Structure 1
């Protein structure tokens, strides 16, 4: 996929989110025949206070980022931060919903534990998840 096509796909997803159409987004993949395949976007929001923003980014880079790159069907992800709500938004593109949902729960739990451990170390928290999940959903094509 060309850089321009990727940027347009991301811009479309973000525009739809901002317009209040969080139930619909399109992510595209190049196919050998020049067409596109529709993918699913995992959509997560976490509470990320301004003073802990860099700790969140570092915990993501030390846990989810390397793990995701090894997963079948993973395409890419974006980390976004909203200073008004102090929330982090993750948009994670998958080649198919089946590939995303085929990941064993215990694998997800292990990576989440690593993320929380790194987050606690960086923030000084003694227990729990310093960046609790606020919203979890998926964005599908129309």
Structure 2
């Protein structure tokens, strides 16, 4: 099973700030989330949609949770409005993004549970927590 984070950025500034977060999240999930936690789902995908000067996604927070059982995947968008991130550093954003990703994954796991897909909830929760802790540590060390 894999967790993948993608990104759609509203301008170069939002991409420059969030893309390294996206890359590091993918690295951490690839390293820590390695089990088979669901009956048939093999992929959880979260798309970061970060509003900017060129494109505004006109919402904020988690949205559009979709379960595709035939494709063995679940997707969700995580939207960031332009104003909150513009004046923050990556070090400040990392724990915020970590919390938001954890919330999205919690919603996805709950949806999988309702669909009868969930097999190893405790192990998934532990592996995700380890991945997110690793992610946050990385940006704290970079700032030091």
TM norm structure 1: 0.35
Larger Rg: 1
More helix by share: 2
Q: Which of 1 and 2 has higher RCO (CA within 8 Å, sep 6+)?
A: 1
More strand by share: 1
TM norm structure 2: 0.35
